[in-house]
Amino acid sequence: MIDAKLASKTHSAQHTQIRLSDAVSIGGSEIVVIGGPCTVESLDQMEQVAHHLSTTPVHALRGGVYKPRTSPYAFQGMGIEGLQILAEVRRQSGLPVVTEVMSIAQIEPVAAYADMLQIGSRNMQNFELLKALGQVNKPVLLKRGLSATIEEFIMAAEYILSHGNSQVVLCERGIRSFDSYTRNVLDLGAVVALRQLTHLPVIVDPSHAAGKRELVADLARAAIACGADGLIIECHPEPEKSVSDARQALSLEDMAGLVYSLQPIATAVGRRLNGGVAEKPALAIAC
């Protein structure tokens, strides 16, 4: 029995919708796709991403500026300069932006620039950070911890909700297991369970689950088929040159092909996938 009050379906029988911008809400009939690189690397990189994705049914941009790297010697992110780049590409494209916050001190600058604050896997049970996010009037994208149970995940959301912020989106991003062929195991059972147990929107990150770009598209389609409210997917103008998570990054062309390929699946499960002004590519690219 999960001790959640505010996150649970019994608190609200309605599925909650979380607004990222005037045009974009997560949790309604429309599937929301968030795309972009693991790390913001330059204005030119983000302009290419935004320019390309804004002509497809992608609804928001991602890009980390404070990066939780395994090694302290790896690039740690562009910080404030990266936030300014995100603000600039949001201005140019009209797309809302999502980026990670790793500490209480980062909340204020990130909230000043971003439309949704991401809590990464490694911080899912950083309770002081969760409590502080409860006092922010911005949507929070809460990623499942590396080895978190469904109950721990829901209770982490409960921390944010119970401290005053009702705008929480859950993100299944794969959990640790014994097999290293895939980076993590995408737990689609959790997606179904979370949508039954909570009223919060649930999105899926197939990139960090798979760890390999050739697995991402099929996992993304499976996520929409099983009821996810959206996706967050890593892509890059030159995937092999990504400063982080290069192996799982899609090219911008493959990202577009993937997003268009979701449309019939969304329709089949009674959802819609709108947005984008470009013609459908002649051939959906197999990723």
Residues that bind ligand PEP (CB under 6 A): 38, 64, 68, 120-122, 143, 173, 205, 208
53 versus 260: smaller Cβ distance to ligand PEP? 53
- Computed on alpha carbons and rounded to an integer, the radius of gyration of the chain in Å comes to 17
CB of 28 to Mn ion, least distance (A): 27
Q: Is 83 in the site for Mn ion (CB under 5 A)?
A: no
The answer to whether the beta carbons of residues 284 and 261 sit under 8 Å apart is yes
Q: How many residues does the chain have?
A: 287
x-or-dash string of contact with Mn ion, 20-39, rule CB under 5 A: ------------------x-
CB of 102 to Mn ion, least distance (A): 13
Closest by Cα among 29, 33, 105 to 259? 33
Measured CA to CA, the distance from residue 285 to residue 287 in angstroms comes to 6
CB of 79 to Mn ion, least distance (A): 17
175 versus 271: smaller Cβ distance to ligand PEP? 175
Residues near 15 by Cβ (< 8 Å), separated by ≥ 6?
27, 28, 195, 199, 201
Which range touches Mn ion (CB under 5 A), out of 52-60, 180-188, 237-245, 278-286? 237-245
The answer to whether the beta carbons of residues 172 and 144 sit under 8 Å apart is yes
Measured CA to CA, the distance from residue 171 to residue 202 in angstroms comes to 6
158 versus 245: smaller Cβ distance to Mn ion? 245
62 versus 271: smaller Cβ distance to Mn ion? 62
Residues near 30 by Cβ (< 8 Å), separated by ≥ 6?
271, 272, 273, 274
Measured CA to CA, the distance from residue 18 to residue 168 in angstroms comes to 7
CB of 5 to ligand PEP, least distance (A): 26
Residue 235, token pair as written in the block = 């892509």
132 versus 186: smaller Cβ distance to Mn ion? 186
Residue 121 contact, options Mn ion, ligand PEP, none, Cβ 5-8 Å cut-off depending on partner type: ligand PEP
30 versus 205: smaller Cβ distance to ligand PEP? 205
x-or-dash string of contact with Mn ion, 159-188, rule CB under 5 A: ------------------------------
Measured CA to CA, the distance from residue 106 to residue 88 in angstroms comes to 19
Q: Is 245 in the site for Mn ion (CB under 5 A)?
A: yes
Beta pairing partners, 39: 64
Q: Which residues bind Mn ion (CB under 5 A)?
A: 38, 245
